[in-house]
């Protein structure tokens, strides 16, 4: 029995010695990693020692430091029990430990303990150390801010962007979204696969996803040839231009621009010549819809502290002004970053770790009132938390916002979130025109520029828009109670002006527009162009408000913010047929420009206006001169939609007023073989027709050109056209404008019984122009 007891004691001693040796080895390795600040390698070794029974407060303190140094908030919070153990069981800690513990309590939203810890830090610090005192006071005030804001939550519903294709265990941040929510780009920090750069464990790349009826597509990398990190910085409201950040080996980083054509993004170019600085950081930017003002963040000299928000404006001579610091109350001694100017140009969102932040970086909003920016207002809880909440962007109608945060509950690092705003805060009085310009003959877009001119500011240029050359789509955002001219320049057509009068509405609505351009030819000669505008513009009445609300509700259903399955079960159980129909409509509802039915016969909401421009009626004296972008554009007379729509409707029912006997007037003009010269012997017949035309503006002349069948088809068509043009010129030179001439070329006659002489003819007759119009 004694031998067995001794054996067990020796065995326990052996295990204890081995355990001690193993523990000592783990601690030695942990200390070695810790000394070179390799905290991720030191942490598991410290934990191994603690699990083996290590009680030393210093080991627990260093374990807490390892957790604290993690980039993940969920890991940082794990430092709390180890710091608490160290404080309880050890002595002589630096006073900064209480500040560090308070910061982690704050991130964990344990506000009372955070205040206690920060207060302890202040008590133990040297009162003569003004920096420490200010640091403590700021931290305590931040906690009180958090208590106040969290005690009165805002009526915002914050949603995690629940897509494994977007949010991952890595970092995703700075979502930038087009005004119509059709595209979202963001910056992602991903492990380096070695395909792009060597030496970096992680690299930043830009991803983009497109919104198809509420379903976001798989994000794709936008390939940008660059040796260093790139990231999102801002997006134009129409989603056609993106502002990106690019860093360098010696340059902290600046702002550049890329432009979209179809599905492809071009190479980066400077955003403006005088915006970036060689030694300082320009991080993020936002451009107004009119393209005249850029707000951006920089830490250049002359700021109030850290990053500040600046702005530069487009001057009358086409150059950009020197950037101006926005000063107080926007900027503070802390960092202000990620400005986002809403399309209303009166609401500025930005990120700051100053002002009345409730911890980390918070999102603030300021309003432009009487040319002065209001004191920034904290967006409050749950938009902001005690973690980092930043990079805020709001879509044009004010119903939804996107931002990134490293708050608790994410998958890793920063993640992307969005929130739905209540109707009362989302009622932004803006008009968003989503349109498409096509060549009516080909059904395809053509290179086009849109020059928007504010008629209330002496024809001053507002912005030049470039519709997507692959789709013809454009997006223009206009404020209420404003009269605009849009000068449209499309390849192959003369410039023309479309007037848009925006009513003084008190809420947001979307207007859809389709423009079709067609050349007018007379015997293969272009003599004018037809502009047809179809508007799905809705009256600003309560019915439309209901439709818009339905559109917004559809977004909630289609993106999963409403549990459709449970809702449908409830409706079925209650026998609510109207509710079931309404919910089904929401699920299926679509509103992008491609899905608008512009067939006016099928969609009663469509208004149509057509204007035909004949160039012989538009000599230079009749052209309108537009001062645009430093040059003069000669535009065809302004197309006022309401006026032209009224004329288009009236034309359908217009009754002609003339003696019907005039329609019997006709003539046949014969030509010599291979010739197109008009013989003087036919002048009296043509003058007789001319006399009838002068009696009534409702009368026109139809010219039908023929040729005999001797030559090739192409030669015959060309010859018949020349003969018809000779007759056309005769009337045109006598004062009959081309608008009153109906031209038709038939080429060689197909009637084998027709003589060669009969084939070489042009038929002329008087026609009813109103009747001809209805045939189109």
| Tens-place pLDDT, residues 616-630 | 876 555 788 887 666
Helices and strands (H and E) in the chain: how many: 16, 38
Nearest residue to 382 (alpha-carbon basis) of 552, 175, 156: 156
pLDDT at 325 over 90: yes
Please tell me the number of Cα atoms within 13 Å of 559 on its side-chain side: 24
Pick the more confident residue, 310 or 425.
310
pLDDT at 11: 44
Q: 12-21, 114-123, 149-158: which has the highest mean pLDDT?
A: 114-123
pLDDT single digits (tens) 50-83: 988 889 999 999 999 999 999 889 999 999 999 9
pLDDT at 28 over 90: no
pLDDT at 647: 80
Q: How many CB atoms lie within 10 A of CB 19?
A: 12
Q: What is the mean pLDDT of residues 694-721?
A: 82
pLDDT at 396: 86
pLDDT at 225 over 90: no
Task: Determine the Cα angle at 126 with ends 124 and 132, to 5°.
Answer: 90
pLDDT band at 750 (very low <50, low <70, confident <90, very high): low
Q: Which residues pair with 246 in a beta bridge?
A: 230, 254
398 and 477 Cβ atoms separated by less than 8 Å: no
Pick the more confident residue, 135 or 198.
135
- Element (DSSP H or E) covering residue 308: strand 308-313
Helices marked H in 607-712 — which ranges? Answer: 641-653, 683-693
Q: Which two structure tokens, joined as six digits, stand for 416?
A: 């992307």
Q: Which residues pair with 394 in a beta bridge?
A: 401
Q: What is the mean pLDDT of residues 163-168?
A: 87
| DSSP helix/strand/coil, 210 | strand
Angle between helices 577-588 and 564-574 (to 10 degrees): 160
Tell me the C-alpha distance between 74 and 169, whole Å: 12
pLDDT at 376 over 80: yes
Report the Cα 473 to chain-centroid distance in Å. Answer: 13
pLDDT at 400 over 70: yes
- Element (DSSP H or E) covering residue 619: none
pLDDT single digits (tens) 506-518: 777 778 899 999 9
Return the minimum-mean-pLDDT range out of 48-62, 549-563, 584-598, 701-715.
549-563
pLDDT single digits (tens) 517-574: 999 988 888 888 999 999 886 443 334 334 444 454 554 444 444 444 455 455 545 5
End-to-end CA distance of the chain: 118
Q: Which residues pair with 464 in a beta bridge?
A: 451
| Residue where the block lists tokens 């068509």 | 717
740 and 693 Cβ atoms separated by less than 8 Å: yes
| Residue where the block lists tokens 């081995």 | 18
236 and 259 Cβ atoms separated by less than 8 Å: no
pLDDT at 575 over 80: no
pLDDT at 158 over 90: yes
Angle between helices 96-107 and 57-68 (to 10 degrees): 50
Q: What is the mean pLDDT of residues 721-732?
A: 90
Q: What is the mean pLDDT of residues 162-166?
A: 85
Spell out where 154-240 has E strands: 157-160, 171-177, 183-191, 202-212, 215-216, 220-221, 230-235
What is the model's pTM? 0.74
pLDDT at 187: 95
Q: Which residues pair with 338 in a beta bridge?
A: none
> What is the biggest distance separating any 2 CA atoms in the chain, rounded to whole angstroms?
148
Q: What is the mean pLDDT of residues 252-269?
A: 90
| DSSP helix/strand/coil, 466 | coil
| Residue where the block lists tokens 């992602």 | 188
Q: What is the mean pLDDT of residues 415-431?
A: 79
Q: What is the mean pLDDT of residues 753-759?
A: 68
Pick the more confident residue, 650 or 301.
301
pLDDT at 348 over 70: yes
pLDDT at 399: 86
pLDDT band at 656 (very low <50, low <70, confident <90, very high): confident
| Residue where the block lists tokens 């919104």 | 211
Average of per-residue pLDDT values in the chain? 83
Q: Which two structure tokens, joined as six digits, stand for 415?
A: 């993640």
Return the minimum-mean-pLDDT range out of 105-114, 218-227, 655-664.
655-664
pLDDT at 679 over 50: yes
Return the minimum-mean-pLDDT range out of 20-29, 335-344, 695-704.
20-29
pLDDT at 580 over 70: no
Pick the more confident residue, 217 or 773.
217
Q: What is the mean pLDDT of residues 282-288?
A: 93
| DSSP helix/strand/coil, 615 | helix
Pick the more confident residue, 580 or 688.
688
451 and 489 Cβ atoms separated by less than 8 Å: yes
Whether the upstream peptide bond of residue 382 has omega within 30° of 0, thus cis, is yes
Burial of 9 (0-12, 13-18, 19+ CB in 10 A): exposed
Q: How far is CA 15 from CA 21, 56, 183, 448, in A?
A: 10, 21, 63, 83
pLDDT band at 25 (very low <50, low <70, confident <90, very high): confident
């Amino acid at each position: 029995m004694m031998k067995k007891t001794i054996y067990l004691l020796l065995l326990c001693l052996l295990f204890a010695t081995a355990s001690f040796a193993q523990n000592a080895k783990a601690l030695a390795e942990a200390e070695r990693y810790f000394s070179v600040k390799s905290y991720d390698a030191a942490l598991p070794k410290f934990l191994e020692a603690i699990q083996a029974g290590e009680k030393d407060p210093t080991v627990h303190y260093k374990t807490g430091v390892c957790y604290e140094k993690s980039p993940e908030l969920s890991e940082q919070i794990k430092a709390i029990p180890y710091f608490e153990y160290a404080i309880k069981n050890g002595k002589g800690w630096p006073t900064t430990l209480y500040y560090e513990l308070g910061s982690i309590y704050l991130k964990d939203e344990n506000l009372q303990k955070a205040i206690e810890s920060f207060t302890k830090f202040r008590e133990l610090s040297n009162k003569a150390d003004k920096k420490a005192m200010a640091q403590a006071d700021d931290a305590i005030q931040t906690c009180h801010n958090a208590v106040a804001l969290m005690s009165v939550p805002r009526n915002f519903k914050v949603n995690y962007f629940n897509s494994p294709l977007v949010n991952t265990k890595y970092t995703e941040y700075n979502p930038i979204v087009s005004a119509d929510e059709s595209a979202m780009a963001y910056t992602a920090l991903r492990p380096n696969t070695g395909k792009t750069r060597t030496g970096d464990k992680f690299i930043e790349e830009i991803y983009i996803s497109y919104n198809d009826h509420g379903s976001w597509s798989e994000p794709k990398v936008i390939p940008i040839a660059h040796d260093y990190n790139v990231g999102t910085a801002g997006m134009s409201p129409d989603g056609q231009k993106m502002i990106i950040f690019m860093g360098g080996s010696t340059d902290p980083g600046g702002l550049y621009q890329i432009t979209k054509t179809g599905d492809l993004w071009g190479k980066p170019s400077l955003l403006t010549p005088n915006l970036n600085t060689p030694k300082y950081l320009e991080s993020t930017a936002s451009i107004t819809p009119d393209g005249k003002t850029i707000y951006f963040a920089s830490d250049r000299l002359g700021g109030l502290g850290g990053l500040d928000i600046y702005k530069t404006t487009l001057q009358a001579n086409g150059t950009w002004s020197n950037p101006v610091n926005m000063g107080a109350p926007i900027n503070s001694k802390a960092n202000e970053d990620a400005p986002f100017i809403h399309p209303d140009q009166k609401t500025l969102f930005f990120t700051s770790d100053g002002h009345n932040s409730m911890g980390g970086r918070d999102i603030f909003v300021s309003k432009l009132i009487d040319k002065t920016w209001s004191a920034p207002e904290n967006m409050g809880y749950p938009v902001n938390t005690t973690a980092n909440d930043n990079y805020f962007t709001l879509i044009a109608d004010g119903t939804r916002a996107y931002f990134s945060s490293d708050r608790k509950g994410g998958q890793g690092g920063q993640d992307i979130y969005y929130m739905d705003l209540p109707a009362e805060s989302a009622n932004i009085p803006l008009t968003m025109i989503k349109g498409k310009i096509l060549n009516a003959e080909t059904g395809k877009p053509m290179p086009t520029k849109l020059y928007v001119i504010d008629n209330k500011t002496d024809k001053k240029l507002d912005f030049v828009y470039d519709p997507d050359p692959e789709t013809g789509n454009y997006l223009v955002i206009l404020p209420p109670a404003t009269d605009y001219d849009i000068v449209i320049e499309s390849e192959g057509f003369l410039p023309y002006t479309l007037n848009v009068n925006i009513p003084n509405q008190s809420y947001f609505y979307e207007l859809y527009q389709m423009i079709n351009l067609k050349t007018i030819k007379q015997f293969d000669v272009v003599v004018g162009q037809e502009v047809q505008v179809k508007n799905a513009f809705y009256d600003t009445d309560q019915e439309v408000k209901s439709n818009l609300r339905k559109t917004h509700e559809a977004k909630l259903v289609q993106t999963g913010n409403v549990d459709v399955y449970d809702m449908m079960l409830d409706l079925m159980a209650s026998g609510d047929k109207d509710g079931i129909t309404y919910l089904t409509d929401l699920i299926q509802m679509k509103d992008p420009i491609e899905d608008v039915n512009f067939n006016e016969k099928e969609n009663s909401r469509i208004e149509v206006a057509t204007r035909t421009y004949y160039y012989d009626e538009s000599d230079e004296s009749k052209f309108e001169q537009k001062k645009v972008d430093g040059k003069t554009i000669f535009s065809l007379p302004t197309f006022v939609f309401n006026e032209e729509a009224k004329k288009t409707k009236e034309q359908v029912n217009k009754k002609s007023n003339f003696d019907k006997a005039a329609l019997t007037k006709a003539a046949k003009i014969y030509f010599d073989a291979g010739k197109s010269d008009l013989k003087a012997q036919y002048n009296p017949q043509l003058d007789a027709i001319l006399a009838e035309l002068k009696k009534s503006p409702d009368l026109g002349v139809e010219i039908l050109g023929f040729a005999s069948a001797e030559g090739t088809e192409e030669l015959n068509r060309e010859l018949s056209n020349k003969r018809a043009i000779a007759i056309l010129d005769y009337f045109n030179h006598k004062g009959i404008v081309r608008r009153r001439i109906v031209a038709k070329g038939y080429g060689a006659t197909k009637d084998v019984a027709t003589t060669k002489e009969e084939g070489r003819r042009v038929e002329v007759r008087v026609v009813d122009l109103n009747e001809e119009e209805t045939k189109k």
